[in-house]
Amino acid sequence: MSSYTWRAQVAGLVLASATVLAATVASAHVRVMPAESKLGATESYKVTVPTEGKVTTTKVELVLPQGVELVSVDDAGKPYDVSKGEAGTSIITWRGEILPGWARIYGFTARNPQGGVELSWKAHQFFADGTTADWVDAPGSKRPASVTKLLTAP
């Protein structure tokens, strides 16, 4: 195989990889990580909020699942508010602009419940034009809630 042919194949693979990455970023939505955590553990969670469309994000609300106890919210995410929702769940509301094509990562620490198999993180994203995107549905839907699988301790 000539050096030119090999370079052309490598360039093609790089271009294909970049295209897949761009498609993955374009299809992203509000995500809570890690994807797995232990029952009863105190965990540092990260929330990624991209602005996918052409309108700036102005606020995001994250509803902590039933049984999750909020320990703290990272100061880097200021300004934020914490309130109580239905059934005593905590709601973290972050305010600030996230321009189209950009994302912001917020952090908080929480204690997982002692029981259950997963945590479903419902999020509401608010935009400068008054519209919202509710990331609250089941996995595989148009606007799924992020899910963290709960594992038993070894």
Measure the CA dihedral 109/21/138/126, to 10°. Answer: 70
Query: Would residue 16 count as lying in a domain?
Result: no
Residue at 53 is within a domain = yes
Within-domain flag for 12: no
3-state helix, strand, coil in the chain (%, to 5): 20, 45, 35
CATH number at residue 109: 2.60.40.2230
Q: Is residue 8 in some structural domain?
A: no
What does the DSSP 8-state code read for residue 77?
A: G
Tally of domains within the chain: 1
Percent of the chain with pLDDT over 70: 81
pTM of the full structure:
0.80
Domain of 117?
29-151
In-domain check, residue 22: no
- Omega of the bond prior to 144 within 30 degrees of 0, cis? no
Contacts of 37 (CB under 8 A, 6+ apart): 43, 112, 119, 148, 149, 150, 151
Q: Which tens digit of pLDDT belongs to each residue from 4-53?
A: 444 444 344 333 333 333 333 334 489 999 999 999 999 999 999 999 99
Of 122, 93, 108, 105, the residue nearest 44 (C-alpha): 108
Residue 88 lies in a domain: yes
Give backbone dihedrals phi and psi of 37, rounded to 5 degrees, phi first: -150, 170
Least-confidence region, from 7-16, 51-60, 65-74, 125-134: 7-16
